[in-house]
Amino acid sequence: MPIRAYKHKHSINKGKIQTIKQILTEYRKTAIKIAKKQWKIFFKEGSFNKYADIKDIPSNLSERYKQTCQSQVVSVLNSYISNRQNDFVEIVKNSNLDEDTKFILLTINKFKTWFNEKLKEAKLKDKETKKVIKTLPIEKYHYKIARKIIKQTFKKNRFPSFKHISMQLDQKVAKIEKKKEGKAKEFDYWIKLSTLEKGKPIYLPVYKNTYFEEKEGKQLNFVQINEKEDDIEIVFLKDLPKETNYIPQTEKISIDIGLKALFTVNTGHLFGRQFYKFLKHYDRIITDLQASLQKQGIKPNESKRYQELNRKLREYIKNEINRLLNKIIKLYQPKEIVIEKLNFQNSELSPQLNRLLNRFGMKIIKQKLQDFEERFGVEIIYVNPAYTSQTCSNCGYIDKRNRKTQEKFQCLICGRKINADVNASRNIGVRSSNPMIHKRRRTVLRMLVRAYLSDAKNYACNSRACEVILSNRYFIGYYEPLRITSKEKS
């Protein structure tokens, strides 16, 4: 079941806020030390250990606090490793290795045995009967290749930083208590929080969140505490049940991600047409402010206005993505969503905003789609987006010149005119069952060219189409057969 976080208003005085920030500072220092120890365990044993003995780690936190901190650190590290496993799969499937070697490497990756070399053989099983079809021995050199690949993914993706983490506290150190009858009626919850001084907890008054109260699900005995400028944030967690009333009305929809229209569905519907306009507006303000601060010798992070603008921008991106995807799921109620595995990128936006969109924006999209999977059982399929914007969804002809403008697409062969994003979304839908999903861009191009020629050669070369194709650099290497065919038919 999905776990969701809900912010709650509080009435904590400045003295207690200062105490909490002192705990948070020590918590983060301890988390960094624990992470270093966990990485040593990982490279020695092949996995993290949330029950590791950490009494030797110096900290002003109590042992209970340290154990809570370790659980959070290990959870973050496991999530990081899970993402690197996915990267590993992409690298192996895109490689030129033979199929047996690929299967052995994917088996090592599946069981996370890159460093401990526990597995001695890889067993290929029949999907239906589960019977072993083939057994392959895992040699030393297989592990050597596997380690090289996983380390390559580490180099491309920084290890998680714990310098700014929030505290995710269980009831060992933060006990949530509902208000008692006849006492402090103004507040709905009290959090009994352990401090750095043994035997001297503090009590934090918290108001209820009506949305949280009405949401079906089980409240967890966890509280998340984070700093927010001169204040702190209190977050409660709830385990939501899977929606049982969700009945798919559409078999499959495919979505193209863009900026002029944030989401374009293969049906022709465009969602988020003001998204790009708003981003450009904020980007200009933030960029101008950044230049002004630089002239004054002030670091952007030292400017409250700069921080507030970035906070509002992040909030807008998050809210707009969630709002539009909720609208799409409500409108179509799909059984399956096919979406491109793509990063935002626009030359008209600043490098800083492009980085924000690529990291933060895509993270929000993936989180929301994961929410659909967990709550509604919607199958989410990510596909290779290479050349979807240049390929005609009607006849399959691929040509950079098909994309007339950012918004207009017109096929040079069949003449089909269509919105460029709608065309791309329809190509994305077709690729959900296509083997090119794990291929390199160059390989995808070769497959698209061959597929087009095998289907369209007979009618395409009856007319001027041959001249169009012969002037297309994508078809280099296929020119001669086309010339011969063209001469024969003329």
Residue 278 falls inside a structural domain: yes
Whether residue 375 sits in one domain with residue 417: no
Q: How far apart are CA 158 and CA 44, in angstroms?
A: 20
**Which of 106 and 342 is assigned the larger pLDDT?**
106
User: To which residue do tokens 């998050």 refer?
Assistant: 318
Residue 258 falls inside a structural domain: yes
pLDDT at 184 over 60: no
Number of neighbours of residue 48 by Cβ within 10 angstroms = 22
Whether residue 58 sits in one domain with residue 151: yes
Each residue's pLDDT tens digit, 252-307: 999 999 877 899 999 999 999 999 888 888 889 988 998 898 899 888 888 889 88
Those residues with Cβ within 8 angstroms of residue 31's Cβ, 6 or more apart along the chain or in another chain: 69, 72, 73, 162, 165
Whether residue 303 sits in one domain with residue 341: yes
Residue 483 falls inside a structural domain: yes
Residue 126 falls inside a structural domain: yes
3-state secondary structure 256-309: EECCCCCEEECCCCEECCCHHHHHHHHHHHHHHHHHHHHHCCCCHHHCHHHHHH
pLDDT band at 459 (very low <50, low <70, confident <90, very high): very low
What's the token pair of residue 264?
Answer: 């374009």
pLDDT at res. 127 = 74
pLDDT at 482 over 50: yes
What's the token pair of residue 12?
Answer: 């904590």
447 secondary structure, DSSP code: H
**In the chain, pLDDT over 70 holds for what percent of residues?**
93
Each residue's pLDDT tens digit, 461-471: 556 777 888 88
Q: Which domain holds residue 405?
A: 400-489
Is the Cβ–Cβ distance between 316 and 353 less than 8 Å? no
Is the Cβ–Cβ distance between 474 and 398 less than 8 Å? yes
Rounded mean pLDDT, 77-90: 93
Out of 270-284, 314-328, 387-401, 468-482, pick the least confident: 468-482
pLDDT band at 350 (very low <50, low <70, confident <90, very high): confident
Instruction: Give the burial class of 322: count Cβ atoms within 10 A of its Cβ; 0-12 exposed, 13-18 middle, 19 or more buried.
Output: middle
Residue 185 falls inside a structural domain: yes
Final residue of a domain: which of 239, 267, 283? Answer: 239
Residue 94 falls inside a structural domain: yes
Rounded mean pLDDT, 352-357: 82
Residue 45 falls inside a structural domain: yes
pLDDT at 185 over 80: no
Each residue's pLDDT tens digit, 410-424: 999 889 999 999 999
Q: How far apart are CA 256 and CA 338, in angstroms?
A: 9
Classify the C-alpha dihedral 351-352-355-357 as positive or negative.
negative
Rounded mean pLDDT, 440-464: 74
pLDDT at res. 358 = 81
pLDDT at res. 57 = 95
- Residue 452 has phi, psi (to 5 degrees) of -65, -45
Residue 390 falls inside a structural domain: no
Q: Which three-class secondary structure state does DSSP give residue 51?
A: coil
First to last CA, the chain: 65
Those residues with Cβ within 8 angstroms of residue 95's Cβ, 6 or more apart along the chain or in another chain: 102
Whether residue 363 sits in one domain with residue 263: yes
What's the token pair of residue 479?
Answer: 């020119």
**In the chain, pLDDT over 90 holds for what percent of residues?**
54
Which helix (H) or strand (E) segment holds residue 417: the answer is strand 417-419
- Residue 202 has phi, psi (to 5 degrees) of -120, 155
Q: How far apart are CA 102 and CA 90, in angstroms?
A: 11
Whether residue 257 sits in one domain with residue 379: yes
pLDDT at res. 481 = 56
**Which of 64 and 311 is assigned the larger pLDDT?**
64
Whether residue 433 sits in one domain with residue 355: no
Which helix (H) or strand (E) segment holds residue 176: the answer is strand 174-178
* Highest mean predicted confidence (pLDDT) among 138-147, 183-192, 431-440: 138-147
Whether residue 149 sits in one domain with residue 170: no
In this structure, what is the dihedral angle of CA atoms 69, 222, 203, 196, given to the nearest 10 degrees?
Answer: -10
The mean pLDDT value of the chain amounts to 88
Rounded mean pLDDT, 112-129: 87
Rounded mean pLDDT, 164-182: 87
pLDDT band at 458 (very low <50, low <70, confident <90, very high): very low
Task: Report the domain count for the chain.
Answer: 4
pLDDT at 116 over 70: yes
What's the token pair of residue 214?
Answer: 């009405």
Rounded mean pLDDT, 114-139: 87
Each residue's pLDDT tens digit, 9-38: 999 999 999 999 999 999 999 999 999 999
Rounded mean pLDDT, 431-447: 78
Whether residue 451 sits in one domain with residue 416: yes
pLDDT at 113 over 90: yes
Those residues with Cβ within 8 angstroms of residue 331's Cβ, 6 or more apart along the chain or in another chain: 269
Is the Cβ–Cβ distance between 429 and 338 less than 8 Å? yes
Whether residue 148 sits in one domain with residue 42: yes
pLDDT at res. 471 = 86
